[in-house]
Amino acid sequence: MRYDVAVIGAGPAGSFAAEKLSSLGHKTLIIDPCDKKKICAGILTAQYVRKYGVDESYVERKLKGVRLSFRDIRAEITYRKAVEYSIDRSAYDSFNLNEAISAGAGLRKDTALSLEENGSSVAIRTTKGQILADYAIVASGVSDLSRLCGGPERYAFCVQQKKYLEPGDYFEMNLMHGGYSWSTPKKDCVLTGTSSLSGYPDIPGEKSLIPLGPVKKTFSERILLAGDAAGFVSPFEGEGIYYARRSGEIAAEIISGVTEDKNVLTDYESCWRKEFDFSTLALISRMLSNDRALELFTKSIRDNERFNKLVEGILTKENKKPGIKDIRFLIKTLVS
């Protein structure tokens, strides 16, 4: 059987791409072994919640804000308008996959090993044989397959573990040069994780890779990269679920438009670049690349109300794109 679109990966990018394509009448197949647990802090950000809402079936805890620390300096941002949620990532992924299947997408529990574009189709080699499709969306995270398609070559190394501690109502981040650690409250425990740019931290836990920003090219003749496979993770706070879901939707819209001669596949790149403001987030991340800047950043959140509100707006995307005055104020504060 030949499909209109093969979607490789059943995370938020893949499932929402498949759901949209299926709802638009395209014969769609999801390819995923469905045997791996996604290592993720599991937070639906304020930006996600505003756009998509949540379903109680996967919500574990409502969050009030974020607590930051650098060495012995501690700061807190309590969200004034926004709300975020800590979720059960496995339940979230299952919910989204079932929605895609209900919309008409097929599911093949298999592992895609390679893709080859052959003029008018994409041949996908899997452990169980070959699948043909007109187009493919690679949404398989940081993987051997995504690298073959031009996916992320730069990433952070993360280790995460579950601790049965009394959970609070804030997401917590401990800032450090070259990485950070975090703590996410769940229903009856917390997930703690640590990241490093130089290799996996020497601590027990489950390991994963987080891409460090978008790749140079997210399309080819018949293939689009979405979610982590395209490097769509905020370089400032490490958030990726919103970008995964939205990029999957954009990829589906573009491919559907191509089949109706409304656009071309290369339009995908301009569409996501127009929506995702990674440049400002990357600028902030670069400014926080030394201990002095991290110290000033944390102290300013603690002591300067204007700075606290500015960072809140950036984190919650209430201020979708900070103005030049805000950026100048941010820079002046961090280099003073």
What single string gives the DSSP state of each residue in 162-219?
A: EE-----SEEEEEEETTEEEEEEE-SSSEEEEEEESSS--SSSSEEEEEE-S--S--B
Which whole number is the average pLDDT over 3-18? 98
Which whole number is the average pLDDT over 99-105? 98
Task: For residue 180, give the nearest of 142, 228, 231, 237 by alpha carbon.
Answer: 237
Q: Is the dihedral of CA 62, 64, 68, 73 positive or negative?
A: negative
The C-alpha angle with vertex 228 and arms to 226 and 229, in degrees rounded to 5, equals 60
What pLDDT digit, counting tens, does each position of 69-89 carry?
Answer: 999 999 999 999 899 999 999
Q: What is the Cα–Cα distance from 238 to 213, expressed in whole angstroms?
A: 9
Model pLDDT, residue 187 = 95
Which pLDDT band holds residue 37 (cuts at 50, 70, 90)? confident
Q: What is the Cα–Cα distance from 246 to 48, expressed in whole angstroms?
A: 9
Which residues sit opposite 179 in a β-bridge? Answer: 176
Which pLDDT band holds residue 45 (cuts at 50, 70, 90)? very high
Which pLDDT band holds residue 227 (cuts at 50, 70, 90)? very high
Which pLDDT band holds residue 336 (cuts at 50, 70, 90)? low
Whether 228 contacts 211, CB under 8 Å: yes
Which of the residue ranges 85-94, 106-115, 233-242, 269-278 would you say has the lowest mean pLDDT? Answer: 233-242
Residue type, 28: T
Which pLDDT band holds residue 284 (cuts at 50, 70, 90)? confident
Above 90 in pLDDT, residue 285? no
Above 90 in pLDDT, residue 282? no
Which of the residue ranges 96-100, 222-226, 317-321 would you say has the lowest mean pLDDT? Answer: 317-321
Higher pLDDT, 39 or 248: 248
Tokens read off for 126: 């899997």
Give the end-to-end CA distance of the chain in Å, rounded to a whole number: 63
Which pLDDT band holds residue 256 (cuts at 50, 70, 90)? very high
Model pLDDT, residue 326 = 73
Whether 210 contacts 225, CB under 8 Å: no
Helix or strand run (H / E) with residue 301: helix 291-303
Tokens read off for 48: 């996600």
Above 80 in pLDDT, residue 324? no
Whether 148 contacts 222, CB under 8 Å: no
Fold of 1-42+88-153+212-276: FAD/NAD(P)-binding domain (3.50.50)
Model pLDDT, residue 333 = 76
Q: What is the Cα–Cα distance from 122 to 108, expressed in whole angstroms?
A: 17
Model pLDDT, residue 248 = 98
Instruction: Tell me where in the chain the CATH 3.50.50.60 domain(s) lie.
Output: 1-42+88-153+212-276
Q: What is the Cα–Cα distance from 284 to 279, expressed in whole angstroms?
A: 9
Which value, to the nearest 10 degrees, does the dihedral of the CA atoms of residues 136, 141, 147, 153 take?
Answer: 140
Helix or strand run (H / E) with residue 246: helix 241-259
Which of the residue ranges 128-137, 177-186, 326-335 would you say has the lowest mean pLDDT? Answer: 326-335
Q: What is the Cα–Cα distance from 27 to 29, expressed in whole angstroms?
A: 7
Which whole number is the average pLDDT over 169-186? 90
Percent of the chain with pLDDT over 70: 97
Percent of the chain with pLDDT over 90: 75
Which pLDDT band holds residue 321 (cuts at 50, 70, 90)? low
Model pLDDT, residue 314 = 87
Q: What are residue 93's phi and psi, to 5 degrees?
A: -65, -40
Q: In 10 A of CB 321, how many CB atoms?
A: 11
Higher pLDDT, 62 or 325: 62
Rounded to whole angstroms, what are the CA distances from 238 to 22, 42, 194, 278, 321?
30, 11, 12, 11, 17
Model pLDDT, residue 330 = 75
Q: Which of helix, strand or coil describes residue 31?
A: strand
Model pLDDT, residue 331 = 73
Above 90 in pLDDT, residue 277? no
Which whole number is the average pLDDT over 275-282? 83
Which pLDDT band holds residue 308 (cuts at 50, 70, 90)? very high
- Would the pTM of this model clear 0.85, i.e. be above it? yes
Q: Mean pLDDT for the chain?
A: 92
Tokens read off for 314: 């950036």
Q: What is the Cα–Cα distance from 43 to 64, expressed in whole angstroms?
A: 12
